[in-house]
Amino acid sequence: MNDTRESAIKFPCDFPIKVMGKSAHDFDTLVVQIVRRHVADLTEDAISVRASTGGNYVALTVTVRAHSQQQLDALYTELSGHERVVMVL
């Protein structure tokens, strides 16, 4: 089946992705490694980290330069499929 739906997003664009998971010293490194497989030009200033009130969870907001809906779909699929990622928005 050929998916010919049109995206409401105009590419290229800066697109924020929020990734949440259990707090661990290497969670941010894991997320950045996954994102860099899809976005080669990711910079450190495109990443912000925020711990939950209780410190049990962490949320990373990664703003990527997206070039297509397919790129975003592949990134969301890999992030949400990882066992350590609780949620991707």
Is the predicted pLDDT of residue 53 greater than 90, yes or no?
yes
Is the predicted pLDDT of residue 7 greater than 80, yes or no?
no
pLDDT at 3: 53
Token output for 41: 């030009």
The structural domains of the chain, ordered by start, are 13-88 (3.30.70.260)
Token output for 3: 């998916």
Token output for 11: 């590419």
| Residue 41: closest CA among 60, 62, 61, 59 | 62
Q: What is the pTM of this model?
A: 0.89
Distance CA 78, CA 10 (A): 22
Residue type, 22: K
Return the residue matching tokens 């990373």. Answer: 60
